[in-house]
Structure 1
Amino acid sequence: MSSTEKETQEPKLLTVRMKDLSAAIGLSPSTIFQYVHDGKFPKPIKINPRVSLWKWSEVEAWLDQQAKKQEGK
């Protein structure tokens, strides 16, 4: 990979906050937290009492799992 290619690559998203997570997967924050509570969605990393972050790699894995469930129907 040339130095020009490295400079134009966007950084990989490692974590995501609720607002962006909700927009990215199309679920409301209350639904996401209910899924977390029910063990149906990855648990967040609590930065402080008001801030939760999700590992994007875990969210992608969850999305892939949901797609496979749909394909199996």
Structure 2
Amino acid sequence: MRLIKLKDVTSLTGLARSTIYKYISEERFPKPVSLGERNVAWVEEEIQGWILEKIAERDLA
């Protein structure tokens, strides 16, 4: 299991920081893991799973 920082999440998804946090508040994106007072990261497998879900949704449409 690997944790990735926001810069990597934005790079993988193509989403802006504000969009990622908006989707998190709407429960449409994986929540980050707290690493400290002002430090968070995401589980890479959860981000990859989210991307695969988006691809599957596209293919069903």
Distance (whole Å) between structure 2 residues aligned to residue 27 and residue 69 of structure 1:
17
Amino acid at match of 1:34: K
Alignment length (residue pairs): 61
Point out which structure has higher relative CO (alpha carbons under 8 A, 6+ apart).
2
CA-atom RMSD, angstroms? 1.2
Aligned partner of 1:60 in structure 2 is 48
Aligned partner of 2:30 in structure 1 is 42
Long gaps (5+) in structure 1: 1-12
List, as ranges, runs of 4+ consecutive aligned residues in structure 1 with deviation greater than 4 Å. none
Aligned partner of 1:17 in structure 2 is 5
The CA deviation string for residues 10-44 of structure 1, in whole angstroms up to 9 with x for no partner, is xxx71110011111210001100110110000000
Which has the larger Rg? 1
Long gaps (5+) in structure 2: none
Secondary structure, in 3 states, of the residue corresponding to 2:28?
coil
Q: What fraction of aligned residue pairs are identical, expressed as a percent? A: 26
